[in-house]
Chain A
């Protein structure tokens, strides 16, 4: 392995806001700050991606440097003196945020991530309010709407702050590269990549771009997600599709699953595919079976559990006493839990008395 071991890297000293900190060579200023609990605001930075350095919010002052530098892309050096929150830096960040809000609409109550939004938090922290923006006297230009790389996702160009997380995620997490910046100046936007050399990168609708967007500029195209951040329960569980066993979070409001969000850990380390992320609609589908059904004279009637189970018990007992337990066959399910498969085979073997139990492992 080419990766250097931690023990081999050199330890250096960095001063941050007057505090002496121990750091390792190769770390960025942001790495060191986070490790020591010093908060530097960020928007484009994401732990899973290589530093992008586009949002300019993590700027810090470094002794000896004429201009502020981005903490996420600047490596520390021995004896470096860093200031993270001078009045000048605060004013610069405020200006950066104002420029973002020239385009990004301040209609937070209408937005699904209201209450769970880094940009909203920063606007609050840096006191950005609507009135400020009139001083610029600029009218935002909106790019013509155009289709996104997948029909599952809708792109909202005005919300987009062009941080580039989505573009990087498609390359670094999905290994595809289906989207990129397009256009110039005020018309810059995220759009499908037409061609990359000889190949046309094909979007696989995994939604990593959507999951990593900090400002909800990429949303599920099927409609607005129900529920605000504070009414949504998030339950960590295991995906129901292939055998990979990805860990994910089901978002639920009342008895409705409203979406799937990534969670750390597991085989997938937060990544998901199209089925894992978008394949939750079936859960609350109106076609779901909601009551036991009994066929009588060729038609179905609804039944309660007691009568349905009594009928099953009676008929299975009849057939067993007439033809023996081996006249009954049972198919368990690879969709059910271990506990359920265990109980079912226990029922078939220990109650009915046959080994005629199998499941769809061969299909």
Chain B
């Protein structure tokens, strides 16, 4: 998030798109409801589904799935046409405006209505409401990013907030709601193929030299951008990738076109899975290592608003299970021994002196020492320490020991200097419904479960509230097909099929079915499309084409 959650209390207009906030981020959802209820803040929801936040909204726009660039460009078109944009901000803080302006010409509300199904007049109302606010916050989640053109969707939203000068101040900004406890931190720490900790590019030789020295490792750091998760599985099948080490992740259930993923897991020469349960992915492993859950270790998580917060150990891990950081330290030492053993053997064979290889420092007494090391090499974390984080979390960037942290980004300048407008063309989803597969399928979460359900399905109370997958279908479609709540259906896509119960609900859109990926017995990701966004490599979980067949009772 560019801004902070607490700023919801300051803002005048909130635009939510592609986020089922009250279900997937219930506490943030409540704060938004409260702002609307108590302070009369205005709420715009843009979502094909009638998500629960819609009942609090002043304006609800219901686009066809995957038409986000169209409606966002449409909003910008209206804002320019009616002179509602922030001229000062655009001149002083941005670049690329003229080309952007040119690119919007075609996106008249009437044209956008054709593309997205949003009535032209509603689009105009929403544009006026957003642009007229003195402070406005945009919230989005995977409903914006998980598309074949997800990067364009985010750029389009960035255009919108810059056009209206709604960024760089308290109570404004472009705010992605991150779905997992530490997905922000994992990115910050360089668990990405193209960047080292603190988003420092692996292709930058100066950066590499610094890490090479800091880690004091005998292994030469690679300057070649690595593979993203969505590249890895195809690479296994193509023969380029032979081994995988998977920590706390369950791609055999969570990834798009999961049959393809399972085929790849099967084809690996060697697979290590480190997790707290024997997951669907662990079933493919050669070695399974028992890690610890959040209650069993010390550390930090970084939340969606960049707040680094302490995680504290309450109990010991069960049996021989160990904190994951301990496992990595022991593994690094085991690997070092193995390499040194090999070079000794080779030395004897060659008659030369054995040459050990130093693999850097791996003796940490406790996680605070690891934190101190990572803070020293991660400029955005540099001013942080366990001592400072003890009382309350601090938001990065925090470049020095006395820096208070940063509640909102881009105050006087953008990270890159001037904010760049992107001229975008509308490209639809990779797969659209047709005669054979007439429904859109979109996936997401429900309130009571989390991801592949390895944890929440083992919480008796939560599982009692939502014990099975229920594919949501709109009443209009259900009537037409003679399907009722509780009927079993088969959902078929070009990639696979699943069988599940139906919940007839107007929460989903006509012509669209919605399913979660929480239930191993209904692995909905056998259906989803692995069409990827070219830049972010994110799969198009939110749109694919399916047909629904009623099963005999």
Partners in one complex: yes
Distance (Å) between the CB of A11 and the closest chain B CB?
27
Task: Report how far A77 CA is from B451 CA in the complex, Å.
Answer: 55
B interface footprint on A277-308 (CB within 8 Å = 1, 0 otherwise) = 01111111101111111110000100111101
B311's contact among A152, A237, A314, A323, by CB below 8 Å, is which? A237
Q: Which of A330-355 contact B (CB under 8 A)?
A: 330-355
B314's contact among A175, A252, A272, by CB below 8 Å, is which? A252
Q: Which of B292-320 contact A (CB under 8 A)?
A: 293-305, 307-316, 318-320
Task: Report how far A78 CA is from B445 CA in the complex, Å.
Answer: 55
The segment out of A82-90, A178-186, A263-271 that lies at the interface is A263-271
Residues of B contacting A244 in the complex (Cβ-Cβ under 8 angstroms): 5, 25, 27-28, 177, 303-304
Give the residue name and chain of the A residue nearest to B517 (CB).
Answer: A363
A330 to B244, Cβ gap below 8 A?
yes
Task: Report how far A246 CA is from B285 CA in the complex, Å.
Answer: 34
Query: Given that A350-B360, A356-B227 are known contacts, is A304 also in contact with B314, CB under 8 Å in the complex?
Result: no
Task: Report how far A204 CA is from B360 CA in the complex, Å.
Answer: 50
A356 to B193, Cβ gap below 8 A?
yes
Task: Report how far A236 CA is from B392 CA in the complex, Å.
Answer: 11
A interface footprint on B160-193 (CB within 8 Å = 1, 0 otherwise) = 0000000000000000011111111111111111
The segment out of B102-110, B336-344, B481-489 that lies at the interface is B336-344
Residues of B contacting A250 in the complex (Cβ-Cβ under 8 angstroms): 295, 314
Residues of A contacting B320 in the complex (Cβ-Cβ under 8 angstroms): 290-292, 304-305
Answer yes or no: B506 CB below 8 A from chain A CBs: no
A363's contact among B255, B335, B359, B462, by CB below 8 Å, is which? B255
A360 to B183, Cβ gap below 8 A?
yes
A357 to B181, Cβ gap below 8 A?
no
A342 to B249, Cβ gap below 8 A?
no
Residues of A contacting B49 in the complex (Cβ-Cβ under 8 angstroms): none
Query: Given that A250-B295, A313-B338 are known contacts, is A289 also in contact with B290, CB under 8 Å in the complex?
Result: yes
Give the residue name and chain of the A residue nearest to B215 (CB).
Answer: A350
Q: Which of B439-457 contact A (CB under 8 A)?
A: 447-448, 450-451, 454-456
Answer yes or no: B539 CB below 8 A from chain A CBs: yes
Q: Chain B: how many interface residues by the 8 Å CB criterion?
A: 153
Give the residue name and chain of the A residue nearest to B452 (CB).
Answer: A363
B5 to A337, Cβ gap below 8 A?
no
Task: Report how far A312 CA is from B247 CA in the complex, Å.
Answer: 14
A335 to B248, Cβ gap below 8 A?
yes
Task: Report how far A126 CA is from B114 CA in the complex, Å.
Answer: 73
A152 to B461, Cβ gap below 8 A?
yes
Q: Chain A: how many interface residues by the 8 Å CB criterion?
A: 118
B270 to A353, Cβ gap below 8 A?
no
Answer yes or no: B232 CB below 8 A from chain A CBs: yes
A349's contact among B22, B187, B221, B335, by CB below 8 Å, is which? B221
Task: Report how far A333 CA is from B295 CA in the complex, Å.
Answer: 16
Distance (Å) between the CB of A28 and the closest chain B CB?
20
B460 to A359, Cβ gap below 8 A?
no
Residues of B contacting A361 in the complex (Cβ-Cβ under 8 angstroms): 183, 186-187, 192
B181 to A362, Cβ gap below 8 A?
no
B309's contact among A247, A285, A340, by CB below 8 Å, is which? A247
Task: Report how far A348 CA is from B202 CA in the complex, Å.
Answer: 13
A238 to B181, Cβ gap below 8 A?
yes
B294 to A237, Cβ gap below 8 A?
yes
A238's contact among B202, B228, B311, by CB below 8 Å, is which? B311
Distance (Å) between the CB of A219 and the closest chain B CB?
12
Q: Which of A307-323 contact B (CB under 8 A)?
A: 308-317, 319, 321, 323
The segment out of B29-37, B89-97, B410-418, B470-478 that lies at the interface is B29-37
B299's contact among A306, A327, A337, A344, by CB below 8 Å, is which? A337
Answer yes or no: A143 CB below 8 A from chain B CBs: no
Give the residue name and chain of the B residue nearest to A245 (CB).
Answer: B303
Query: Given that A243-B178, A313-B337, A325-B222 are known contacts, is A363 also in contact with B254, CB under 8 Å in the complex?
Result: yes
Residues of A contacting B388 in the complex (Cβ-Cβ under 8 angstroms): none
Answer yes or no: B288 CB below 8 A from chain A CBs: yes
Give the residue name and chain of the A residue nearest to B270 (CB).
Answer: A315
Residues of A contacting B287 in the complex (Cβ-Cβ under 8 angstroms): 292-295, 303, 308, 311-312
B242 to A327, Cβ gap below 8 A?
yes
Give the residue name and chain of the B residue nearest to A153 (CB).
Answer: B461
Task: Report how far A341 CA is from B186 CA in the complex, Å.
Answer: 6
Task: Report how far A136 CA is from B338 CA in the complex, Å.
Answer: 82
Query: Given that A308-B289, A309-B334, A331-B229 are known contacts, is A151 also in contact with B30, CB under 8 Å in the complex?
Result: no
Task: Report how far A241 CA is from B454 CA in the complex, Å.
Answer: 12
Residues of A contacting B145 in the complex (Cβ-Cβ under 8 angstroms): 362
Q: Which of B190-237 contact A (CB under 8 A)?
A: 190-194, 196-197, 202, 211, 215, 217, 219-222, 224-230, 232, 235-236
B370's contact among A268, A283, A339, by CB below 8 Å, is which? A339
Residues of A contacting B24 in the complex (Cβ-Cβ under 8 angstroms): 242
Query: Given that A327-B240, A329-B241 are known contacts, is A319 also in contact with B181, CB under 8 Å in the complex?
Result: no
Q: Which of A229-263 contact B (CB under 8 A)?
A: 233, 235-247, 250, 252, 254-257
Distance (Å) between the CB of A207 and the closest chain B CB?
9
A362 to B537, Cβ gap below 8 A?
yes
A344 to B303, Cβ gap below 8 A?
no
B289 to A355, Cβ gap below 8 A?
no
A313's contact among B244, B277, B335, by CB below 8 Å, is which? B335
Task: Report how far A341 CA is from B146 CA in the complex, Å.
Answer: 24
Task: Report how far A88 CA is from B302 CA in the complex, Å.
Answer: 55
B184 to A243, Cβ gap below 8 A?
yes
A280 to B459, Cβ gap below 8 A?
yes
17 contacts between A and B (CB under 8 A): A150-B465, A204-B447, A288-B318, A290-B319, A292-B290, A300-B288, A312-B272, A316-B243, A317-B342, A332-B247, A337-B311, A338-B185, A339-B371, A340-B324, A344-B191, A351-B336, A357-B190
Closest 5 CB pairs of A and B: A245-B303, A290-B319, A337-B299, A333-B248, A355-B226
